[in-house]
Amino acid sequence: MMKQSVLVSLLLAGCQSWNPSVPLPPELTEAGVQARLQIPRDPELDRAETVVPGSPSDPQPEAEPSILSLDDAIVFAQRHSPRLRSARAAIERATGREQAAFAPLLPEVDLLAQSGITSNNQGPGALGPTGFLIPTSSSGNRRYVQEELQLLWTIYDFGLRAGRYQEAAARARIAAFQLVRADQTVQFDVAAAYLNVLLARASVRVQEDAIRDAEATLKDARSRLEGGVADPNDVLRAEVQLSESRDAFVSARQAELVAVAQLNNVMGRNAALPLRIENLEPPPPEARPSLADSLAIAAAERPEVDFAREAVVAAQEGLVAAKAAFFPRVYVRASTGRVDAVNVLNGWQAGAGLHIDMPLYTGGQLRGDLRTAEGELAAALADAQTILDGISLDVSRAFYTEVAGRQRLELSRTAVVQAEENLRLVRVKYRNGDATPTDIVDAETALTRSQQRFNSAFYTYLDALASLDYAVGRQQGTILRGASDPAGILTPLPKERSGTAR
């Protein structure tokens, strides 16, 4: 009766319906969500900080966080990016499936127990691996309790278990390669967002200079109008230029705030947090490999190549397992146990047997599994070719983009020098009375546009270098080198232009 009570207690414990639900992780509770989204309250941040320079409401500079280099930003993202955490979890999931697929290769040991009662005209118990319970000649109900220790070991199945295990192992290796590429993707996203911030900040600096020049030009035009040596149209043109410069500054400031938010996001930070970053300088031209070298590097470094190989291996092993399912399974089954009963022979029991299971008819399931495996292998081979062709396209596109970006950079640099010289000559003429304020406005507008084109070309070129690193499968910074420059000494813009009234 004691054993029966234990069995009943275990049954009730396993059938409890009053277990509480699993609690949410702390990160997803109300407090966790608030902590993730909240930032220190700052009225200037609420106003988006789009105050035009020189206006009465220009805020005082606020304390900024520590300055991050590109390498610092990448390291931070590698530690905090949710995408990388998800990729690491995928490896754990695939490793668990590999472990589960290996388990059938080992013997299985089970502890079995049963308790029951039958009437006088029925045999006690159910047929088990050790045979059946033997009743005595005594009349009356038969009560029994039986415990068994069972061994089940498949010794041969024509590669069914081995194929499934090798397929799971290949899937685990695929997950590892996917993590490598996910890490490279996060690095590239950080580099691209980093460069967007630098481009936006360079645009803000250009527009700040343009506003100062426009204010000086407008002030001088008004003075000349009062002196009777200027036309009202000159003043109107200067006012339009100042308004356009201020509008462009607001747009540039908005682009900077959005770029900072994007960089925070790819790093795994709250997008609303403030952030300061260092500047970058271009690497020497010899740092860029040739197209042939880039393709060779990609063939050796891109994790997708190994990914494609392992996908084919997994499909091949899946086909092996599908074919093996048509053949018999040979296994050993043995058990030992004890029976304590009423009107049943008591004592120890033992038994063993060699079993063969042969599938004769499964309704077409095995044939369907085989066709599925054959299709997956064909698809894996085609996908591998697609991956290799895609790598070739990525590298070629990144290489040609870098070549074109370098050429545009040199052209835009020349345009800035010419625009600066043109503005200098117009100012000389202006001081000599041979040019109007409108001429100054046009020259300053041309210089502003050429500087913005130079900024765009410069950071597009750096982005092309980062893309080439990503395309060949190398770590960010192999070509795109970061430079420690918190003071902005390495700013790629030409010298600050001097205003009309200076």
**Ordered structural domains, the chain, with CATH:** 67-107+158-328+365-472 (1.20.1600.10)
Question: Residue 143 in contact with residue 116, Cβ under 8 Å?
Answer: yes
Distance CA 115, CA 307 (A): 53
Element (H, E) at 108: strand 108-118
Report the pLDDT value the prediction gives residue 253, as an integer from 0 to 100: 93
Could you give phi then psi for residue 490, rounded to 5 degrees? -90, 20
Cα–Cα distance, 459 to 436 (Å, whole number):
35
pLDDT at 179: 93
Under a CB-based contact definition with an 8 Å cutoff, are residues 411 and 466 in contact?
no
Distance CA 492, CA 489 (A): 9
Q: Please choose, from the candidates 89, 84, 70, the residue with its C-alpha nearest in 3D space to the C-alpha of residue 268.
A: 84
Residue found by looking up tokens 């009202």 in the block: 232
Element at 147 (helix H, strand E): strand 142-156
Residue-by-residue pLDDT tens, the chain, 502 positions? 555 555 555 555 555 555 567 676 776 666 666 666 666 655 444 444 444 455 444 444 444 456 888 888 999 999 999 999 999 999 999 999 999 999 999 999 999 888 888 888 787 876 666 667 888 878 788 888 888 899 999 999 999 999 999 999 999 999 999 999 999 999 999 999 999 999 999 999 999 999 998 898 888 888 888 877 777 888 888 889 899 999 999 999 999 999 999 999 999 988 888 888 888 776 666 667 889 999 999 999 999 999 999 999 999 999 999 999 999 999 998 888 888 888 888 888 888 888 899 999 889 999 999 999 999 999 999 999 999 999 999 999 999 999 998 889 889 989 999 999 999 999 898 888 888 888 888 899 999 999 999 999 999 999 999 999 999 998 887 877 643 333 333 345 544 454 444 3
pLDDT of residue 64: 43
The whole-model pTM stands at: 0.79
pLDDT at 278: 85
DSSP state of 402: H
In this prediction, residue 173 carries a pLDDT of: 93
Instruction: Output the pLDDT for position 56.
Output: 44
Residue 459: closest CA among 448, 470, 449, 451: 451
Q: Residue 71 corresponds to which tokens in the numbers above? A: 């390498």
Annotate 11-35 with DSSP letters as a single string. Answer: HHHHT-S-PPPPPPPGGGSHHHHHH
The confidence score (pLDDT) of residue 12 equals 56
For residue 150, which of 341, 355, 12 has the smallest C-alpha distance?
A: 355
Residue 27: its pLDDT value, please?
65
> Which residues are bridge partners to 110 per DSSP?
150
* Residues contacting 287, CB < 8 A, separation 6+: 479, 481
On the 0-12 / 13-18 / 19+ scale of CB atoms within 10 A, 103 is exposed
Task: Tell me the C-alpha distance between 463 and 405, whole Å.
Answer: 9
d(CA 191, CA 184): 11
37 Cα distance to chain centroid: 20
CA dihedral 477, 479, 480, 483 (to 10 degrees): 80
pLDDT at 115: 86
Which amino acid is located at 57 in the chain? S
> What pLDDT sits at residue 274?
87
Write out the two tokens for 249.
């500054």
Helices 82-102, 160-226: crossing angle, 10 deg rounding: 180
Q: Comparing C-alpha atoms, which of 213, 205, 202 is closest to residue 426?
A: 213
The pLDDT assigned to 272 comes to: 86
Strands 276-277 and 347-357: unpaired
Strand pairing of 347-357 and 329-342? antiparallel
Q: Which residues pair with 128 in a beta bridge?
A: 131
- The confidence score (pLDDT) of residue 487 equals 34
Nearest to 234 by CA among 431, 440, 426, 438: 438
